[in-house]
Amino acid sequence: MSSYRDAIRSALRQLMQEDERVFLMGEDVGNYGGAYAVSKGLLEEFGPERIRDTPLAESGFVGAGIGAALGGMRPIVEVMTVNFSLLALDQVVNNAATMRHMSGGQFEVPLVVRMATGGGKQIAAQHSHSLENWFAHVPGIKCLAPATVQDARDMVLQAVADPDPVFVFEHQLLYGMTGELDEEAAPADPWRAIVRRPGEDVTLIGWAGTLGKCLEAAEALAKEGVEAEVVDLRCLRPIDFPTLAASVTKTHRAVIVDEGWKTGGLAGELMAGLMERVFYELDGPIRRVCTAEVPIPYAKHMEDHALPTVERVVAAAKESLRG
């Protein structure tokens, strides 16, 4: 058994032990041990050359990571929260994502950017949003969203092995979650969605922080005689539509649970992709459960109301069953 944060730390330690080109940089990753204690103890083990604290300047240190990757290193950049990553979007969209294309394949950017995402911890609007879809919109980068302890480890390992920029979105409520971890297992293919619970009546699609809510909703539905299939999307770009389509073809109904906003969100992209592929298999409209169209509130009762809940997922599934 391991915690989600310890699984990520295990991956970071293994990578740095095996390859001297790997280093970690970001805000408070050194002496403080990381904003979510992921890098705690690594500074003492690997030293300040490989565990590098940075100023509060996301565009600067993400840009430095891109330069290091172009120079043959394997940088892992930690951005404290996805909200702050917006300051580095120019580096991401105009540099990291375009180098391979604009160089005709001559340059690779093996950069990994890790960041916390999601709400639920009462740290208000500037630290609590889910903006993964902004990055999943950009060709030239890949986006992963681990929802399990094993994936938290495996996705970091696979991201560093990839020759292109990979962004790993770690939901902040998951860092303390515990689960089984096999540190000897070969990392699973992170680019494919996985069916976490089989079912016949309706497909629930989630990732990162919403997967657990989908599983809880499936348990609640089972008590009422409804067998929901739960699919963990895992990779937000490229999207594994064949796995999603196979599930919806079986159940003929789907509910997508996205902690992002509905307008312009990833849930809408998933709906459109499924409609293009399995429209004639559907017995009713695909449903979305998303965050309310507001900045995430600080007050707990308001934050809880704004975010997707198990109850809302169950209600959407029942609506789907009514067709």
- Catalytic residues, by residue number, are 58, 127
Judge whether 67 and 74 are in contact, CB under 8 Å: no
Q: Within 131-288, where are the H helices?
A: 132-136, 149-161, 211-222, 241-251, 266-278
Instruction: Map tokens 């459109």 to a residue.
Output: 272
Judge whether 91 and 61 are in contact, CB under 8 Å: no
Rounded distance between C-alpha atoms, residue 210 and residue 236, angstroms = 13
Specify which residues 287 forms β-bridges with. Answer: 255
Sign for the CA dihedral angle at 11, 15, 18, 24 comes to negative
Rounded distance between C-alpha atoms, residue 297 and residue 300, angstroms = 8
DSSP code of residue 187: P
Closest CA to 145 of 260, 243, 68: 260
For residue 62, what is the enclosing H or E element? helix 58-70
- What contacts 171, CB < 8 A, 6 or more positions away? 116, 117, 118, 145, 147, 208, 209, 259
